Amino acid sequence: MNTEAMIRLYDISKHYRSDSAALANIDLRIDKGEFVYLTGASGAGKSTLLKLLFCAERPDKGQILIKGRNITRLKSREVPYLRRTIGVVFQDYKLMNSRTIFENVAFPLEVQGKRRIEVGKKVYQALKEVGLEERMSRYPLELSGGEQQRIAIARALVVGPDILLADEPTGNLDINVTLEIMELFKKANARGTTVVLATHSQEMIQRFPRRVLTLEGGALVRDESC
Amino acid sequence: MNTEAMIRLYDISKHYRSDSAALANIDLRIDKGEFVYLTGASGAGKSTLLKLLFCAERPDKGQILIKGRNITRLKSREVPYLRRTIGVVFQDYKLMNSRTIFENVAFPLEVQGKRRIEVGKKVYQALKEVGLEERMSRYPLELSGGEQQRIAIARALVVGPDILLADEPTGNLDINVTLEIMELFKKANARGTTVVLATHSQEMIQRFPRRVLTLEGGALVRDESC
Amino acid sequence: MRQSSFLCIATVGTLTATLTIIALFALVIINLQALTGRWSEDVQVRAYLEKPVRNAQADQLRKRLGSIDGVDEVEFVSREKAYSRMRQRLENADLLDGLSPEVLPVSFDISLASELRSREGVLELLPRIKAVLPNADLRYGQQWLERFESFVQMIYAAATVLGGFLLFATLFIVSNTIRLTLYARKDELEIMALVGATPFFIKAPFLLEGAAQGALGGGLSLGTVYLLYQAFFREGLGSLLFSIGGYEIHFLPASHQLAILGAGVLLGLFGSLSSLRKFVKIG
Amino acid sequence: MRQSSFLCIATVGTLTATLTIIALFALVIINLQALTGRWSEDVQVRAYLEKPVRNAQADQLRKRLGSIDGVDEVEFVSREKAYSRMRQRLENADLLDGLSPEVLPVSFDISLASELRSREGVLELLPRIKAVLPNADLRYGQQWLERFESFVQMIYAAATVLGGFLLFATLFIVSNTIRLTLYARKDELEIMALVGATPFFIKAPFLLEGAAQGALGGGLSLGTVYLLYQAFFREGLGSLLFSIGGYEIHFLPASHQLAILGAGVLLGLFGSLSSLRKFVKIG
Ligand SMILES: Nc1ncnc2c1ncn2[C@@H]1O[C@H](COP(=O)(O)OP(=O)(O)OP(=O)(O)O)[C@@H](O)[C@H]1O
Ligand SMILES: Nc1ncnc2c1ncn2[C@@H]1O[C@H](COP(=O)(O)OP(=O)(O)OP(=O)(O)O)[C@@H](O)[C@H]1O
Ligand SMILES: [Mg+2]
Ligand SMILES: [Mg+2]
């Protein structure tokens, strides 16, 4: 435990409804530069855990530290600045349908006030890495499911985030594209990005063995380093 | 070729944009009671092909027969009646967010004017088969990604359709649930439903070997019966 | 349909607001009409005769005048009557000291059939009176009558343009609002079509909802106008208007109330219908 | 923002419709005000004296009357003047055959300071005149003046209620419409927040858009009103109104035009602002 803790959860619980817990008493430490799988059955709480990490949901109980900072009671005007250091691939993509692919991927950069030329270059680069630079001027609804998913990945990676949270990022992708995407994640990881990847795919975990966190009914039941 | 043809495509082409073909010169015959995989890389045209079969898109060229009937130039007031014989699992689920899970699954039955008691029984049964009968009174956005996907499957199966078109129906499901869902599809298939399942998962195809159609850049490049 | 309560409130609210404007407008116009209708009852022609006439002759003239088409009643004002009237009108009777009845002209007071009680009606009637009394001096309070009438006419003309535009704007705003609420639900409309619903099956509940919202909006607007009427028009104006001669400001008559409700239902119905045509597309 | 052209049209259209109603309303009220203001210039008091006075005395009285607070001008009407006026007024001069100037009363025509040219003003002034001329008979066209005034007042009161409600309804309808357009884009607003945009970054373009739409709506409404004015009010009414004494119906003055534009911008801005508060939520 010499390395720095990137994400630290202390006794986290989350209930959407009073009768059932989506997450229960989670304690967890993820170090800087780690690559972690988050797995578990459908409805186990994977997405919920990720949502807590970028303040899309707030825990009912417990504390969350990101880079040593307690984000549990972050003021809402500070939330955007936290989010800028985190790239998120949403399970349902969350692309803006009235904006082009280019504008979608450029958005997180514009939010940070980056210069136009820089934005253009970075967006092109990110789209090229997911193989969709030719779709740049289309709208999300004009793309196939897998293409939309890759746009979501490009948007998460374009800012060079400290943390990458990817929720089922290859659910709609064939194996070849999945391998390419995993290469991208590993490259980002090698550059220092801490990666948390929620997935149900055992195949992926076997091909790229890393530390695996397993949720079951909201509880963290296993934490295996490979 | 003694069995009856359920789906018949003659020289089908589809362009969303003039510069590139989503589907090109597809000829295809799927018999009544068959179980067929539709595979291919992301953007190969799988979803487009399925969309043509229930008239969500119209081909630019060629003819499509469903149960011997040419649907290429179906009048728009006849389209609903075609769709009632086809269950569709959409790649992006397409649940109605302002209606409860129960109402979502009941909708295709109500459309057909089924009696209230019958609707209630069938919906409960269908939700039970995907393991979500307890989520009945929630709204789609209150479910996890995989749960929403299973609701979409329940809605497609609840009517006992002649044809089931499933577009990446287990992309967000872990292996256990996937196996259960495949059992459901096989059961429906055994009852006489013709199944066309678009997927990128080689694992699924290996576990349940069936006829596999492979698309590449809009062209049908392989048609392998196991 | 939990999430759509905002959409529902938006539609009903807009319907209520626009119908209230229309109804308030109708309230004002109807009362102006009633008030000016009442005042116009005073319009009459007075014919001063060139020289005094004997009673028998006056009687004969009175009959001839009375038989004119458009004349309601005729009263002969003899010199004595004119003098006593003047006496009555002047507070300070001393003024009449130097005046004897003989210097006053005799006249006929001719009241008009109700449909002629306007400047135009008077102008139509004058030649017919002139035919009977060629040398009489005919007076009918020109200046004030003309002003009053042009005033009323200006208001009616303005009301017509404003009211016409109001109706048009209401139609536009309401159908716009309904279209927006359906736009917000367009994904859902699309999904319904994709799982086999016929256009009628999709539209029917929205049309019913539109009609119900329209009826509700109509009812609420009538309620609002009634409250405004009670708060501002009836009491407040009653004390403001010192000499409207016992005229009491009315609320909208039942027929108009029904028309507002009906307009609400029709707006809701056709607003939904026209927008649904746009958003419900099969295949 | 391709798909949102419908939303944009909806907002601008609603803004245009509502602002047009307001502007038309203002147009009518402003012209009524100008017209009645002009007519009220005729309001004057005529004081009939009990008995004839000599010129010197008349002059003295005239001066005293003229120095009364609220009196504008005073004219002495001698018997001769009264006779010639009557002659002028009566078409058929034969009527005056039996009449000599001596039977007519002398009077003062007292015109009022502009702020007193109303029934109330007259009533305020009467005692002061009475103080100078205790026995005179004071007349000021009571009946017509009263009616005309109560009529005007009723219209103003109605205009105030209607106008107030109109402003309120406009505010409601416009902010409602803008809220609906933002509701239709609420997924997008949510996504922006999720990828790290600050509320200001999200809101700024929508506020700008709202202000621009408001300005556009204001401009279009002014254009619409100008067209309606040209088509209906100026020509059409001009020929309808036979005796408004050369009064020409005006278009809205520049200050009001600016106010309409400003109202559009403010409506767009605050409509967006209040709705954005509802839909832009971080964390
Ligand atoms: N907004 C919500 N309101 C109520 N319940 C919710 C909500 N979101 C999720 N849940 C419930 O919380 C539990 C955990 O959901 P979560 O989305 O975290 O699961 P998951 O592990 O991501 O599953 P999946 O693999 O299917 O995406 C589920 O039972 C789900 O029904
Ligand atoms: N509405 C549309 N407008 C324009 N192009 C489209 C549209 N829908 C799909 N396309 C394009 O057509 C091609 C085929 O799309 P399709 O959705 O059929 O692919 P797919 O095989 O289902 O891919 P995936 O596995 O990623 O879902 C893609 O290149 C896509 O970009
Ligand atoms: Mg999930
Ligand atoms: Mg697809």
Give the residue-averaged pLDDT of C228-233. 84
ipTM confidence score: 0.86
* Interatomic CA distance for residues D177 and D272, integer angstroms: 10
| The pLDDT of residue B19 | 84
Q: Mean pLDDT score of chain A, rounded to an integer? A: 93
Q: Which two tokens stand for residue B33?
A: 């009671």
**CB within 8 A of D107, min separation 6: which ones?**
D46, D47, D48, D49, D77, D82, D136
CA distance B70 to C194: 19
Whether residues C150 and C24 fall in one domain: yes
Mean pLDDT over all residues of chain B?
A: 93
Q: Which residue of chain C comes nearest to D8, CA vs CA?
A: C180
**CATH number of C83's domain:** 3.30.70.3040
Express each pLDDT in B44-80 by its tens digit.
999 999 999 999 999 999 999 999 999 998 998 899 9
Query: Residue C1 above 50 pLDDT?
Result: no
Q: What integer pLDDT is reported at residue A11 of this predicted model?
A: 96
Mean per-residue pLDDT, C56-65: 86
Task: Tell me what the mean pLDDT of segment C12-41 comes to.
Answer: 84
Q: What are phi and psi of C52, to 5 degrees?
A: -55, 150
A27's tokens:
């304690």
Are residues D66 and D206 both part of a single domain? Answer: no
CA–CA gap between residue B73 and residue B66 (Å, rounded): 12
Asked whether residue C91 carries a pLDDT value surpassing 60, the answer given is no
Return d(Cα B211, Cα B226) in angstroms, integer: 6
Residue type, C3: Q
Selected residues 156-175 of chain D with any CB under 8 Å from a CB in chain C: 157-158, 161-162, 165-166, 169, 172-173
Give the DSSP H/E element, type plus range, for residue D234: none
Same domain, C154 and C264: yes
Q: Does B209 touch chain A (CB under 8 A)?
A: no
| Residue A197: predicted pLDDT | 97
**A80, D4: Cβ pair inside 8 Å?**
no
D53 touches chain C (CB under 8 A): no
Query: C93-125 b/e with 16+ CB inside 10 Å = b?
Result: eebeeebebebbbbbbebbbeeebbbbebbeeb
* Residue B222 scores a pLDDT above 70: yes
Tokens 């357009």 sit at which residue? Answer: D181
Centre of ligand 3 to C-alpha B166, Å, is 20
C-alpha to C-alpha distance for A196 and D174, rounded to whole angstroms: 45
Last residue of a domain, one of C139, C174, C206: C139
What does the pLDDT look like over A143-170, one tens digit per residue?
Answer: 999 999 999 999 999 999 999 999 999 8
Ligand 1 atom, smallest distance to B174 CA: 25
Window 67-106 of D: residues touching C by CB (8 A cutoff) are 90-92, 94-95, 98-99, 102-103, 105
Beta-carbon separation of A79 and D282 below 8 A? yes
State the Cα–Cα distance between residues A118 and A132, nearest whole angstrom.
19
Domain stops at, among C118, C139, C160:
C139
Verify whether the Cβ–Cβ distance C162 to D28 is below 8 Å.
Answer: yes
Angle between helix axes C199-228 and C254-279 (nearest 10 degrees) is 150
Across B12-21, average pLDDT: 91
Residue closest to D45 by CA, chosen among D72, D67, D63: D72
Q: Is residue B147 within 8 Å of B104, Cβ to Cβ?
A: no
In whole angstroms, how large is the CA radius of gyration of chain B?
A: 17
Query: What string of H, E and C letters represents the secondary structure of chain C?
Result: CHHHHHHHHHHHHHHHHHHHHHHHHHHHHHHHHHHHHHHHHHCEEEEECCCCCCHHHHHHHHHHHHCCCCEEEEEEECHHHHHHHHHHHCCCHHHHHHCCHHHCCCEEEEEECHHHCCHHHHHHHHHHHHHHCCCCEEECCHHHHHHHHHHHHHHHHHHHHHHHHHHHHHHHHHHHHHHHHHHHCHHHHHHHHHCCCCHHHHHHHHHHHHHHHHHHHHHHHHHHHHHHHHHHHHHHHHHHCCCCCCCCCCCCCHHHHHHHHHHHHHHHHHHHHHHHHHHCCCC
**Alpha carbon of residue D78 to chain centroid:** 39
> Does the beta carbon of B175 lie inside 6 Å of ligand 1?
no
Q: Over the stretch B101-150, which tens digit does the pLDDT of each residue have?
A: 999 999 999 999 999 999 999 999 999 999 999 999 999 999 999 999 99
B24: helix, strand or coil = strand
Rounded to 10 degrees, the C-alpha dihedral A71/A73/A75/A81 comes to 10
CA–CA distance, D90 with C104 (Å, rounded to integer)? 13
DSSP state of A138: S
pLDDT of residue C164: 87
Per domain, the residue ranges of chain B are 97-160
pLDDT of residue C246: 63
Query: How long is chain B?
Result: 226
Nearest to B58 by CA among B88, B79, B31: B79
DSSP code at position D184: H
**Min Cα–Cα distance to chain C from B16, Å:** 15
Round to whole Å and give the CA distance between B71 and B55.
Answer: 8
- Whether the Cβ atoms of residue A7 and residue A30 lie closer than 8 Å to each other: yes
Ligand nearest to the CA of residue A18, numbered in listed order:
1
What does the block give as tokens for A129?
């890495």
In the prediction, which pLDDT does D233 show?
Answer: 74
Whether the Cβ atoms of residue A153 and residue A88 lie closer than 8 Å to each other: no
What's residue C278's pLDDT? 86
Is there a single domain that holds both residue C32 and residue C48?
no
The single-letter code of the amino acid at D254 is A
Q: Best substitution site from B101, B147, B176, B177 to test ligand 1's pocket, by max atoms within 8 Å of Cβ?
A: B147
The lowest-confidence range among B1-15, C210-224, D56-70, D228-242 is D228-242
Query: Tens of pLDDT along C240-270?
Result: 554 555 677 889 999 999 999 999 999 999 9
SS3 B122: helix
Chain A residues touching D2 at Cβ < 8 A: 98, 139
What's the confidence (pLDDT) of residue C237? 62
- D97-146: per-residue pLDDT in tens? 555 666 667 888 888 887 777 777 888 888 888 888 887 777 776 666 67
How many whole angstroms separate alpha carbon A113 and alpha carbon A52? 26
Residues of chain D short of pLDDT 70, as ranges, are: 1-4, 39, 41-42, 86-104, 141-145, 147, 235-246, 283
Note the maximum CA span of chain C: 101
C170 and C264 inside one domain: yes
Please give the tally of structural domains in chain C.
2
What pLDDT score was predicted for residue C2? Answer: 45
What are the angstrom distances between the C-alpha of B4 and each of A63, B113, B182?
63, 29, 24
Is C205 found in the same domain as C151? yes
Give the residue among B222, B171, B166, B180 at the shortest CA–CA distance from B200: B171
CA D175, CA D171: separation in Å to the nearest integer? 6
Residue entry with tokens 């004071």: D138
Q: What is the number of residues in chain D? A: 283
Which tokens sit at A140? 């999300």
State the amino acid at position C187 in one-letter form.
Answer: D
pLDDT score, position D37: 73
The pLDDT, as a whole number, for residue D2 is: 45
Q: In this structure, which residue's CA is closest to atom 3 in ligand 1?
A: B142
Q: Residue D85 sits in which domain range? A: 44-139
B176 and A CB contact within 8 Å:
yes
The predicted structure's pLDDT at residue C44:
77
Same domain, C152 and C274: yes
Are residues C161 and C178 both part of a single domain?
A: yes
Last residue of a domain, one of D112, D139, D166: D139
Rounded to a whole number, what is the distance in Å from the CA of A119 to chain B's nearest CA? 27
B96–C3 CB contact, under 8 Å: no
Contacts of C195 in chain B (CB under 8 A): 83, 88, 107-108, 111, 155
Q: Domain check: are D150 and D252 in the same one?
A: yes
| Strand A211-216 to A35-40 pairing | parallel
Q: How far is CA B119 from the centre of its chain?
A: 21
| Domain identity same for D127 and D114 | yes
3-state helix, strand and coil shares in percent for chain B, rounded to the nearest 5: 35, 30, 35
For CA atoms B173, B176, B178, B180, give the dihedral sign.
Answer: negative
Low-confidence ranges of chain A (pLDDT < 50): 1
pTM: 0.83
Please report which residue ranges of chain D form alpha helices under DSSP H.
Answer: 5-39, 55-66, 79-89, 119-132, 142-184, 186-194, 199-228, 238-240, 254-279
- For B86-90, C187-191, D75-79, D99-103, which range has the lowest pLDDT when averaged over its residues? D99-103
Cβ within 8 Å of residue D250, ≥6 positions away:
D30, D31, D34
Phi-psi group of B43: left, alpha or beta (phi > 0 → left; psi -120 to 50 → alpha; rest → beta): left
Ligand 2 binding residues, C-beta < 6 A: A 142-147, 172; B 16-17, 22, 40, 42-48, 91, 200
Over residues B195-211, the mean pLDDT reads 92
Residue D197's pLDDT is 94
Residues C56, C31: one domain? no
Same domain, yes or no: D133 and D160: no
